[in-house]
């Protein structure tokens, strides 16, 4: 688990930086979405050992669709 710590800290830093930027706006920040994106990134690294190209740095819309399709293919290959 100690080998995983630097990657985890990198993801926490991204999470905090995005919260700082989003909190400067006038709209409320949806913390459920932020936590989901953080979780996707951490699980991708922990379970598969690489970035799933989704999560915190994901662009919405079509990118989200492609992300879910990619994850589905990765999971299907592991079964």
**Contact (Cβ atoms closer than 8 angstroms) between residue 41 and residue 55:** yes
Question: What pLDDT is recorded for position 64?
Answer: 55
* Residue-averaged pLDDT of the chain: 77
- The token pair at 45 is 């690294």
Which phi and psi (to 5°) does residue 26 adopt?
A: -90, -15
Split at pLDDT 50, 70, 90, the class of 25 is confident
Query: So what's the pLDDT on residue 9?
Result: 92
pLDDT of residue 61: 47
Query: 48 versus 78: which is more confidently predicted?
Result: 48
Question: How many CA atoms lie within 13 Å of 74's alpha carbon, on the beta-carbon side?
Answer: 15
In percent, how much of the chain has pLDDT > 70? 71
Q: Under a CB-based contact definition with an 8 Å cutoff, are residues 29 and 22 in contact?
A: yes
Q: Which helix (H) or strand (E) holds 29?
A: none
């Amino acid at each position: 688990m100690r080998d995983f710590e630097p990657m985890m800290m990198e993801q926490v830093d991204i999470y905090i930086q995005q919260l700082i930027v989003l909190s400067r706006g006038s709209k409320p920040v949806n913390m459920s979405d932020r936590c989901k994106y953080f979780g996707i990134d951490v699980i991708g690294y922990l379970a598969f050992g690489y970035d799933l190209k989704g999560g915190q740095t994901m662009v919405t819309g079509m990118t989200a669709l492609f992300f879910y399709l990619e994850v589905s293919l990765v999971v299907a290959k592991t079964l």
